[in-house]
């Protein structure tokens, strides 16, 4: 900070890539938890499983119960080059708003083949630089997306998704389909931890 002015660069810091976990922990609640105790001006290093000790009875915990869809579609363009479509939200029976890559190559009218019996047509570009796409499939589209889609891992995970991710990137309380990104803060809850919070009156 210079001359009393704040700049976004004041918050830049080096984060070593090896410090970013690429695999989920064997136990969800073994993750570390930093607790800032403002009244004392202290920081404690705890584990997520300690949460029931930290939240007073009577507090309310709001949970996002949506399930993560296999909304990441990997395919090839007519040229044979790879393409990626991330379905963001449905706009109708076969239309979605989507993020696409490579953005400059996937203009309206272009097709991306995902798998035999499933393709994506780029219909239009939005003001937000997303695309309106149409899914073309031989069979129920939701089943085809579930079969051929991939779990959209957070962008800091630098690996391909694996079969275990379909379960580990869902919260234990997920019910209704609808998310295109994992509610990552909720991934650390276990059924036992939720029961302990209920017993505490949360």
pLDDT band at 164 (very low <50, low <70, confident <90, very high): confident
Contact indicator for 59, 52 with CB cutoff of 8 Å: no
Same domain membership, residue 135 and residue 106: yes
Domain membership of residue 55 as a residue range:
11-66+185-200
Please give the Cα distance from 32 to 28 (Å, whole number): 10
**Tens-place pLDDT, residues 20-62:** 888 778 899 999 999 999 999 999 999 999 999 999 999 999 9
Same domain membership, residue 104 and residue 131: yes
**Tens-place pLDDT, residues 115-145:** 999 999 999 999 999 999 999 999 999 999 9
Calculate the dihedral angle through the C-alpha atoms of 164, 166, 170, 174, rounding to the nearest 10 degrees: -130
Supply 64's token pair: 């996002």
The pLDDT of residue 111: 97
Same domain membership, residue 84 and residue 62: no
Contact indicator for 173, 63 with CB cutoff of 8 Å: yes
pLDDT band at 2 (very low <50, low <70, confident <90, very high): low
Same domain membership, residue 100 and residue 48: no
The pLDDT of residue 1: 54
**Tens-place pLDDT, residues 85-126:** 999 999 998 999 999 999 889 999 999 999 999 999 999 999
The arithmetic mean of pLDDT across residues 152-158, rounded, is 82
User: Which range, of 14-23, 40-49, 65-74, averages the lowest pLDDT?
Assistant: 14-23
Same domain membership, residue 112 and residue 54: no
Domain count, the chain: 2
The pLDDT of residue 159: 83
Please give the Cα distance from 186 to 202 (Å, whole number): 16
CA–centroid distance for 134 within its chain: 22
Residue 143 lies in a domain: yes
Residue 180 has pLDDT above 90, yes or no: no
CA–centroid distance for 81 within its chain: 25
The arithmetic mean of pLDDT across residues 59-71, rounded, is 93
Please give the Cα distance from 17 to 105 (Å, whole number): 30
Supply 170's token pair: 């869902």
pLDDT band at 189 (very low <50, low <70, confident <90, very high): very high
């Amino acid at each position: 900070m210079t001359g009393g002015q704040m700049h976004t660069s004041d918050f830049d810091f080096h984060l070593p890539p090896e410090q970013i976990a690429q695999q989920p922990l064997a136990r969800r609640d073994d993750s570390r938890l930093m607790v800032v105790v403002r009244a004392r001006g202290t920081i404690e290093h705890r584990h997520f499983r300690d949460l029931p000790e930290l939240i007073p009875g009577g507090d309310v915990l709001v949970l996002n119960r949506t399930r993560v869809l296999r909304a990441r579609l990997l395919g090839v363009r007519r040229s044979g080059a790879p393409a990626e479509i991330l379905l963001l939200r449905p706009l109708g029976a076969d239309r979605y708003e989507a993020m696409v890559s490579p953005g400059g190559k996937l203009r309206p009218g272009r097709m991306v083949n995902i798998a035999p019996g499933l393709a994506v047509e780029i219909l239009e570009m939005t003001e937000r630089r997303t695309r309106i796409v149409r899914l073309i499939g031989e069979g129920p589209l939701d089943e085809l997306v579930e079969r051929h889609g991939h779990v959209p891992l957070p962008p800091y995970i630098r690996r391909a998704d694996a079969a275990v991710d379909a379960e580990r990137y869902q919260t234990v309380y997920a019910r209704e389909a609808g998310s295109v990104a994992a509610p990552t803060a909720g991934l650390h809850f276990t059924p036992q931890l939720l029961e302990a919070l209920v017993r505490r009156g949360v």
